[in-house]
Structure 1
Amino acid sequence: MGNYRELLDLTGQAALVVGAASGIGRASAEALAAFGARVALADRDERGLEEALKAIRRAGGEAEAKPLDLMAPEAAEEAVAWTLERFGRLDTLVSTPAVNVRKPLLAYTDEEVDRVVDLNLKATLRLLRAGGRVMRERGSGSLIAFASIRALVVEPGQGVYAATKAGILQLVRTLAAELGPYGVRANAIAPGPIETPLTEPIKAHPEWYRAYAEKTALLRWGKPEEVAMAVVFLAAPASSYVTGTLFLVDGGWTAVDGRFTPPL
């Protein structure tokens, strides 16, 4: 029988996590480090980045941090080059940054469309492209991009956001097809309602907050660390035959058709 514990061991690997200052990005970086990876943290939030770095080091992990504005055209290449400089390799790349402008599609301005598309789709592609080139040359690696349940289901006010998240899924599927022959895997993760600083404003609206919880099969919001374990799996040898997929971590949101329970 094989040693299945070793399938989650990331010792010797190096990972780049962009968006590591808070929320799901920070939890992902901490989880990767906990399983043995050396982690390069990147984010434009310098204070949050420093706190994340200290937390990983306090826990005995190995990490470095770099302030990064992913909207800069050269940022993706810089982040990948910096990771290689620090750790000499890149085994896993995790892209989490995203933005949303909540309003009806008919009310969207061109500037607002550009804001959402430029970060969520174009900047994510630049990052995946930069990491993918390095991994293709090396002959192995795991690209992980964050999509959303909005890649599959929508609600009023999230149309452009949903379109970018569906686009990320298609980018990942294409990368899986194009890079698979080189030993590189590409997958997307689709979180449901997760309690992070970005979703904090929803708590100010109890009905909205409760409605999201009740849309899940588990009747609750998720935590960043529950998503982070999906990142660990997709980075680890345990997922060596997994590529081109959308990994749902949504508490059953997309499986549940409403919350009404009919008399059976």
Structure 2
Amino acid sequence: MDYSKLFQFSDSRVLVIGAGSGIGRESAIALAAHGASVICADSDETTARATAALIGGAATPKVLDVLDHAAIRAAADEYSDVSALVFTAATNVRKRIVDYTMDEFDRVLNLNLRSSFALIQAFAPKMALRGGGSIIGFSSIRAFTVEPGQSVYAATKAGLVQLVRTAAAEFGPANVRVNVIAPGIVETPLTSQIKDDQEWYSAYAQKSALGRWSKPEELAGAVVYLASHASTFVTGSVLMVDGGWTAVDGRFDPPNS
């Protein structure tokens, strides 16, 4: 075993969906830094091109709407040779259950869970035919611990965990690995509502063992790991990258006895 090549992606192509900003952008940059040719996909052409430009010659921009099932299948045909698929696209509507409209329910469900199902359904068989690959989705701490106003988002993120576990079981014999990363609170456009409220922002910071929010680049290492040869026996797993949020119960330090 040549351990020096565990994180090398020479001659490998990877597809990052949601590469236009936040975690997706940093993941694309990190994978390219390890030698991968990266397809930077996003529904926004401008941001997809911007990320590809940051990376340079090893990157290709791609406009992809994951709510378009036909577009996903076309992308799976076009990029049937990718060794890894990363998808980060998600949305949230922070409302209590009684205030939710069914249109809002459908919007969150379709982007967070339906599109994830469609991506796995389209890409996993292609990877199986090529002898294997890695599929990496993004769940959340909200799959495991919730608060008021997070009902639908939390349900989709919990659903994604079980979807990935099932996909890992079904495609494992073909050497296709399927995992999710579960971030804590990350400074991305999705959390701008919280960042704009200092009391809310500070309360979240104190929930983690590290006492702060994470930056998008702090998730990129987990993506590289799950896409790499270093994780060839990891599938059906949830990799927590939450600063200890789900490990720590409470913020009070009892006095010494």
TM-score between both structures, scaled by the size of structure 1: 0.94
Look up the match of 1:34.
Answer: 33
Matches of residues 1-264 of structure 1 in structure 2 within 5 Å? 2-57=1-56, 62-84=58-80, 89-264=81-256
Aligned-residue offset at 1:47: 1.5
CA distances 1:41-70 after superposition (whole Å, capped 9, x unpaired): 11112221111010010xxx5111111211
Aligned-residue offset at 1:4: 1.9
Aligned partners of 2:199, 2:93: CA distance in 1, in Å? 21
Aligned partners of 2:165, 2:5: CA distance in 1, in Å? 27
Aligned partners of 1:183, 1:210: CA distance in 2, in Å? 43
SS in 2 for 1:199: helix
Coordinate RMSD, CA, aligned: 1.1
CA distances 1:82-113 after superposition (whole Å, capped 9, x unpaired): 324xxxx1110011101111001122111111
SS in 1 for 2:9: coil
The alignment covers a number of residue pairs equal to 256
Contact map agreement 1:42 1:79 (CA 8 A) in 2: no
Q: Are residues 152 and 131 of structure 1, via their aligned partners in 2, closer, same or farther at CA, if it must alter by over 3 Å?
A: same
Aligned partners of 1:116, 1:137: CA distance in 2, in Å? 32
CA distances 1:161-180 after superposition (whole Å, capped 9, x unpaired): 00000010001100111111
Instruction: Read off the aligned partner of 2:254 and give its amino acid letter.
Output: P
Aligned-residue offset at 1:129: 1.2
Q: Percent identity?
A: 54
Aligned-residue offset at 1:262: 1.6
What are structure 1's unaligned runs of at least 5 residues? none
Contact map agreement 1:16 1:80 (CA 8 A) in 2: no
Instruction: Read off the aligned partner of 1:128 and give its amino acid letter.
Output: I
Contact map agreement 2:91 2:190 (CA 8 A) in 1: no
Aligned-residue offset at 1:73: 2.0
Aligned partners of 2:194, 2:91: CA distance in 1, in Å? 15
Aligned partners of 2:252, 2:54: CA distance in 1, in Å? 43
Aligned partners of 1:119, 1:105: CA distance in 2, in Å? 19
Contact map agreement 1:218 1:252 (CA 8 A) in 2: yes
CA distances 1:164-207 after superposition (whole Å, capped 9, x unpaired): 00010001100111111111100000010111122223221011
Aligned-residue offset at 1:75: 2.2
Aligned-residue offset at 1:144: 0.5
Aligned partners of 1:103, 1:142: CA distance in 2, in Å? 34
TM-score between both structures, scaled by the size of structure 2: 0.97
Aligned partners of 1:148, 1:5: CA distance in 2, in Å? 31
SS in 2 for 1:66: strand
Aligned partners of 2:98, 2:193: CA distance in 1, in Å? 24
Aligned partners of 2:74, 2:245: CA distance in 1, in Å? 37
SS in 2 for 1:78: helix
